[in-house]
Amino acid sequence: MEQVGSTLTATYAHPRPTASNFLPAISTMASSYRNRFPHYALTHSLSLPWRPSTYYKVAAITPTLAPFSRSSQGLTPSNMLPFVSNRTSLFTRYMPDDWYRANLTNFKESEASRHNSERLRVDTSRMIQQTRQTQAEATKDLGERVNDIVFWKSELNHEMDEMIGETNALGDMRKRLERALAETEAPLQVAQECLLHREKRMGIDLVHDDVEKELLTEVDVIHSCQERMRRYLDKTVAQLAADRAAQHELEKDLSDKQAAHRIDDKCYHLRNTSEGIAYFRGVERADATISVPESWAKFTDDNILRSQSERAASSKMRDDIETLLVVTANEMWNQFNRANVAFTKRISETADAKNKIQTHLAKTLQELFQAEMTIEAIRKAIRDKGPAMKVAQTRLDERTRRPNVELCRDSAQIRLVNEVYEIDDTIQMLQQRLRDAEDTLQALVHNKANLEHELAIKANTLYIDQEKCMGMRKTFPNTLKLVGYT
């Protein structure tokens, strides 16, 4: 660029004609002052073909000698000096002031022309530089936009990885909960079968004892644990649906960000020399945008916040399920142990009662034998009294045949009579004892039957409690299975 104020060599489309003399004729100078550069339309070859005619137009500048022209316009032919072709006349055509003014006017016109040319060059250069600067600023904005998209893509990728991990962890916890719920069916079935088996007890042993109370409590505890597990299982399914919905939004947003990143990155690397660039008339007037940077960033931020909120709820859900599994396992184990303790105590009591019944039965059998022996002895004693009675009565009968005064009531007669009475009383007493002994024998037999029945009842109860119930309760699931582990 030329320095401001320096002399420039101007090139004109229609150059100014050079005069043959230093001072041309008055008529010639007057006409040139009036219209120094007549207007001519520029040809097509000089209309700057390297610029699109749609956006630019050629500026035409017609320099004029305004001050001098206005001073010349006031002269009329009558006021002008007469034309004298002889240059040797004694009078002059101009005054020195006119000469100085003409030079000053030329200087000013030259300076104005240079100033206009320089301003045109500066404006043109600024316009060219402005176009380049505008493109550079647009490229810079595209780069910043690409950086913003990359940042949010990284945030979305990180959040998606976290959400996928949390969803998988919650899915595993759901499977654990389902396995733990399935494992509760076996203890429940065992408790219910124990109750059904104990309904087969007989007689007095069909009692609402501590074992039955603990079994009923165990069934209630297992039902309560199952209900809580099912409730948390429904919550887990709902939370998984919410997690997958948030993950879907993240995936959709990430997919849009990836597409936008490809497009903006391609636009960022486009240059004036790139291939595939073309004119798209009216594209700048088509506004297909549906968001602004604030709403654009807020949309992704809301998706991330929603995902973080769902992840926090999912993590809390997993902690609650873990606590639930531990609590329910402890509750079922504790109640199972209490029921087993009640079974052990009841079995011990039943076995002790059975042993006592067996002891009493043995004594009863011994007493039955003694009673039978006593009855047999009484019967033999009664039979033995018969001959003695016969002898005494025969004696009395024979003594009734004594003659006359010989029928004396002597001591022998009295003793024989007393003997008969004594034998008869003894026989009556023995018969009464025989009846009592037989009644006692019947009571002992009845007692023996009762003891044998009670012994059978106790044996049946022991078989149910010890063999059937306790045999099934040996297969209770361990703690690991109750908390959902395989």
Distance CA 273, CA 278 (A): 11
Q: Which residue has the higher pLDDT, 49 or 105?
A: 105
- Per-residue pLDDT tens digits for 308-345: 999 999 999 999 999 999 999 999 999 999 999 999 99
Q: Which residue has the higher pLDDT, 152 or 40?
A: 152
Q: Are 94 and 71 in contact (CB under 8 A)?
A: no
Q: Which residue has the higher pLDDT, 414 or 85?
A: 414
Task: Transcribe 207-248 into DSSP letters.
Answer: ---HHHHHHHHHHHHHHHHHHHHHHHHHHHHHHHHHHHHHHH
Q: Would you state the pLDDT for residue 30?
A: 39
301: nearest Cα among 262, 256, 233, 253: 253
* Count of residues making up the chain: 486
Question: 325: which residues sit within 8 A by CB, 6+ positions away?
Answer: 176, 177, 180, 482, 483, 484
55 pLDDT above the threshold of 60: no
Q: Would you state the pLDDT for residue 92?
A: 60
Grouping H, G, I as helix, E, B as strand and the rest as coil, residue 410 is coil
**Proportion of the chain in helix, strand, coil states, percent, rounded to 5:** 75, 0, 25
379 pLDDT above the threshold of 80: yes
- Per-residue pLDDT tens digits for 274-291: 888 888 888 888 888 889
- Per-residue pLDDT tens digits for 351-363: 999 999 999 999 9
Q: Would you state the pLDDT for residue 283?
A: 86
Q: Would you state the pLDDT for residue 478?
A: 73
Question: 263: which residues sit within 8 A by CB, 6+ positions away?
Answer: none
360: nearest Cα among 458, 439, 455: 455
- Per-residue pLDDT tens digits for 246-274: 999 999 999 999 999 999 999 999 988 88
Q: Are 368 and 448 in contact (CB under 8 A)?
A: yes
Q: Would you state the pLDDT for residue 15?
A: 43
**Cβ atoms within 10 Å, residue 329:** 22
- Per-residue pLDDT tens digits for 65-114: 444 444 444 444 444 444 444 555 455 678 888 888 999 999 999 999 99
Find the helix or strand (DSSP H, E) in which 133 lies: helix 96-183
Q: Which residue has the higher pLDDT, 466 or 125?
A: 466
Q: Would you state the pLDDT for residue 54?
A: 40
The backbone torsions φ and ψ at residue 274, rounded to the nearest 5 degrees and listed phi first, read -75, 155
Longest dimension (CA), the chain: 250
64: nearest Cα among 23, 104, 25, 34: 34
Grouping H, G, I as helix, E, B as strand and the rest as coil, residue 84 is coil
Distance CA 176, CA 179 (A): 5
Instruction: Please report which confidence band the pLDDT of residue 400 belongs to, taking 50, 70 and 90 as the band edges.
Output: confident
Instruction: Please report which confidence band the pLDDT of residue 386 belongs to, taking 50, 70 and 90 as the band edges.
Output: confident
- Per-residue pLDDT tens digits for 425-443: 999 999 999 999 999 999 9
Q: Would you state the pLDDT for residue 115?
A: 92
Q: Would you state the pLDDT for residue 7?
A: 40
- Per-residue pLDDT tens digits for 166-202: 999 999 999 999 999 999 998 999 999 999 999 999 9
- Mean pLDDT score of the chain: 82
Alpha-carbon 3 to chain mean position: 74
Distance CA 273, CA 284 (A): 21
- Rounded mean pLDDT of 151-177? 95
